[in-house]
Structure 1
Amino acid sequence: MAPRVLISDALSPAAVQIFKDRGVEVDFQPNLGKDKEKLAAIIGNYDGLAIRSATKVTPKIIEQATNLKVIGRAGIGVDNVDIPAATAKGIIVMNTPFGNSITTAEHAITMMLALAREIPQADASTQAGKWEKNRFMGVEITGKTLGVIGCGNIGSIVADRAHGLKMKVIAYDPFLSPERAVDLGVEKVELPELFRRADFITLHTPLTEKTRNIISADAIATMKKGVRIINCARGGLVDETALRAALDAGQVAGAAFDVFTEEPATQNVLFGHPNVICTPHLGASTTEAQENVALQVAEQMSDYLLQGAISNAVNFPSITAEEAPRLKPMVELAEKLGSFAGQLTETGLVKVQITYEGHVAQMKTKALTSAALAGLLRPMLQDVNFVSAPVVARERGIVVEEVTREHEGDYESLITVTVETERRTRSVCGTVFADGRPRIVNIKGIRVDAEFGKSMLYVTNDDAPGFIGRFASLLGEAGLNIATFNLGRDAPGGNAIALVEVDGEVPAEVLERVGKIPNVQQARALRF
Structure 2
Amino acid sequence: MAPKVLVSDKLSETAVQIFRDRGIDVDFMPEVGKDKEKLQEIIGQYDGLAIRSATKVTAKLLEAADNLKVVGRAGIGVDNVDRDAASKKGVIVMNTPFGNSITTAEHAIAMMFAVARQIPEASASTQAGKWEKSRFMGVELTGKTLGVIGAGNIGSIVCDRARGLRMKVVAYDPFLSQERADKMGVEKVELDELLGRADFITLHVPLTDQTENILSRENLEKTKKGVRIINCARGGLVDEQALADLIEAGHVGSAGIDVFAEEPATENPLFGLPNVVCTPHLGAATSEAQENVALQVAEQMSDYLLTGAVQNALNMPSVTAEEAKVMGPWIELAGHLGAFIGQMTDEPMQAINILYDGAAAEMNLEALNCAVIAGILKRANPDVNMVSAPVVAQERGIKTSTTKQGKSGAFEGYIKVTVVTAKRERSIAGTVFSDGKPRFIQIKGINIDAEVGRHMLYTTNEDAPGIIGTLGRTLGDNGVNIANFTLGRKEAQGEAIALLYVDEPVRAEAVKALQDTGLFGQVKPLAFDVA
- Quick check: TM above 0.5? yes
**Alignment pair present for 1:362 and 2:365:** yes
Question: Could you tell me which residue of structure 2 aligns to residue 221 of structure 1?
Answer: 221
> Structure 1 CA distance, aligned partners of 2:255 and 2:287?
26
| Structure 1 pair 356–149 and aligned structure 2 pair: CA distance change class (3 A) | farther
* Partner SS for 2:305: helix
Amino acid aligned to 2:46: Y
Query: Is 1:408 aligned with 2:406?
Result: yes
3-state SS, counterpart of residue 5 of structure 2: strand
1:66-86 superposed Cα distances (whole Å, 9 cap, x missing partner): 121111111122121122221
Q: Secondary structure at the match of 1:256?
A: strand
Partner residue in 1 for 2:469: none
| Aligned residue in 1 for 2:507 | none
- Matched ranges for 1:23-62 at <5 A: 23-62=23-62
Contact 2:327 2:363 in 1 (8 A): no
> Where does residue 95 of structure 1 map in the other structure?
95
1:378-417 equivalence runs, <5 A: 406-408=404-406, 416=413
Please give the alpha-carbon distance, in whole angstroms, between the structure 1 residues aligned to 2:80 and 2:358.
37
1:523 counterpart residue number: none
Aligned residue in 2 for 1:331: 324
Tell me how far apart the structure 1 counterparts of residues 128 and 17 of structure 2 sit (CA, whole Å): 48
Q: Deviations over 1:177-218 (max 9, x none)?
A: 222212211111111111111100001111111111100110
Letter in 2 for 1:406: K
Partner of 2:167 in structure 1?
A: 167
User: One-letter code of the match for 1:271?
Assistant: F
> Identity over the aligned pairs, expressed in percent?
65
SS in 1 for 2:137: coil
Q: Give the SS at the match of 2:174.
A: coil
Q: Distance in 1 between matches of 2:55 and 2:232?
A: 23
Does the 8 Å contact 2:95/2:314 carry over to 1?
Answer: yes
Post-superposition offset of 1:359: 4.5
- d(CA) in 1 for partners of 2:312, 2:281: 22
Which residue pairs with 1:285 in the alignment?
A: 285
**1:115·1:254 contact (CA, 8 Å) conserved in 2?**
yes
Report if the CA contact (8 A) 2:122-2:136 is conserved.
yes
- In structure 2, relative to structure 1, the CA distance for the partners of 1:118 and 1:336 (3 Å cut) is closer
Q: SS in structure 2 opposite 1:329?
A: helix
RMSD after superposition: 2.9
Alignment partner of 1:17 is 2:17: yes
Distance 2:36 2:133 in 1: 53
Residue 117 of structure 1: how far off its partner (Å): 0.5
Partner SS state of residue 363, structure 2: helix
Aligned to 1:364, what secondary structure does the other structure show?
Answer: helix
Report if aligned partners of 1:4, 1:46 keep a CA contact under 8 Å in 2: yes
Please say if residues 200 and 229 of structure 2, whose CA atoms lie closer than 8 Å, have aligned partners that are also in contact: yes
Distance of 1:131 and 1:228 partners within structure 2? 25
Q: TM-score, normalised by structure 2?
A: 0.65
Is the 8 Å Cα contact of residues 111 and 256 (structure 2) preserved in structure 1? Answer: yes
Amino acid in the other structure paired with 2:367? K
Does the 8 Å CA contact 1:235/1:262 hold for their aligned counterparts? yes
Unaligned runs of 5+ in 2: 332-355, 373-384, 386-400, 416-430, 437-531
Structure 1 residue aligned with 2:475: none
Task: Tell me the number of residue pairs that the alignment of Structure 1 and Structure 2 aligns.
Answer: 368
Answer whether contact 1:337 1:429 (CA < 8 A) is retained.
no
Residue 262 (structure 1) aligns with: 262
Match of 2:199 in 1: 199
Structure 1 residues 73-472: aligned runs within 5 Å: 73-317=73-317, 319=318, 324-325=319-320, 328-334=321-327, 356-360=359-363, 362-365=365-368, 406-408=404-406, 416=413, 427=433
* Separation in 1, partners of 2:174, 2:271: 32
Checking the alignment, whether the CA contact within 8 Å between 2:330 and 2:368 is kept in structure 1 is no
Distance in 1 (CA, whole Å) between partners of 2:68 and 2:239 is 39
AA aligned to 2:278 is: C
AA matched with 2:213: N
- TM-score, normalisation: structure 1: 0.65
CA–CA distance in structure 2, aligned partners of residues 90 and 280 of structure 1: 35
Q: Please say if residues 170 and 186 of structure 2, whose CA atoms lie closer than 8 Å, have aligned partners that are also in contact.
A: yes
Measure how far apart 1:3 and its partner are. Answer: 1.9
- The answer (yes or no) to whether the contact 1:234–1:260 under 8 Å persists in 2 is yes
